[in-house]
Amino acid sequence: MMDLHTHLDLYPNALRLAQKVNESNSFTLCVTTSPRAWKATSAVFSKYSNIWVALGLHPEVVARKFEEREILLQNISVSRYIGEIGLDGSPQYTASQFLQKKIFDDVLSEVTRHGGKVLSIHSRRAVSAVLSSLKTYPKVGIPILHWFSGSLAELREAINMGCYFSVNMLMASSMKGSALISSMPRDRVLPESDGPFAVQNGAPLSPIGSNDVAQKLSTIWNVPKEEVLRGFDKTLQHILRFP
């Protein structure tokens, strides 16, 4: 099993859970919301061989943590994975749009300078702006759009640009989400939880939930679950081989 976008460090029982996740999942990408959190979490999780901590600065906290920009940019060279980064166009973050774009573009530029990375990208209500930044930096590596919620036209554009997608149970359980998933290339989709932020039936989505995601995708795509799981493995291997 695997999880390509989890905030594992933010679960209430993170330390105990991490041990379980490390045993159950062959790969877990723990994205962080700030470079300081990345430092602290990297130290705690370094003993887990199947858990990778990605360096990020979440668009929702860019306004509050803009002063961490230097730590962010300085550590891109030493971080194998980058996330959570991106743009959020929701009304409550309109005030920080300029700073968000500044940080996002700076990160893409620095990532490009280091030959590209695997990136987990947030694009809520800001897909076209995210894609336009990605177009400016076409050599960022492998962009994975996490919890994509744009239009079908935006999805087609992202596909044409070579983007990957990580999808979770909430997305796969909604009408709009499953319609989007049905149009995604099966070899570019990976499972995520986005827990503990993503909550279903009163509980945060589990980082050990890729079998459930595969079950949903098997229905949406009308292929056996085993084929979906094999696809996850193949796509993961492709991504892990980068560069």
Stretch that binds Mn ion, among 74-82, 170-178, 188-196, 222-230 (CB under 5 A): 188-196
Among 28, 194, 204, 212, binds Mn ion (CB under 5 A): 194
3 makes contact with Mn ion (CB under 5 A): no
Side by side, which strands form the sheet with 27-31? 2-6, 27-31, 51-54
CB of 17 to Mn ion, least distance (A): 16
| Closer Cβ to Mn ion, 3 or 194, answer by number | 194
Q: Nearest to Mn ion by Cβ — which residue?
A: 194
| Closer Cβ to Mn ion, 56 or 116, answer by number | 56
Pair of tokens at residue 238: 């492709």
How large is the greatest C-alpha to C-alpha distance in the chain, in angstroms? 48
How many whole angstroms separate alpha carbon 39 and alpha carbon 60? 19
**How does 219-230 read in b/e, with b if 16+ C-beta sit within 10 Å?**
ebbeeeeeebbe
Site for Mn ion, residues 50 to 89, rule: CB under 5 A? 84
| Closer Cβ to Mn ion, 207 or 231, answer by number | 207
Closest CA to 57 of 86, 90, 88, 14: 86
Pair of tokens at residue 216: 């949903």
| Closer Cβ to Mn ion, 88 or 194, answer by number | 194
Stretch that binds Mn ion, among 69-77, 178-186, 187-195, 216-224 (CB under 5 A): 187-195
Distance of CA 77 to the CA centre of its chain: 19
Binding stretches for Mn ion (CB under 5 A)? 84, 194
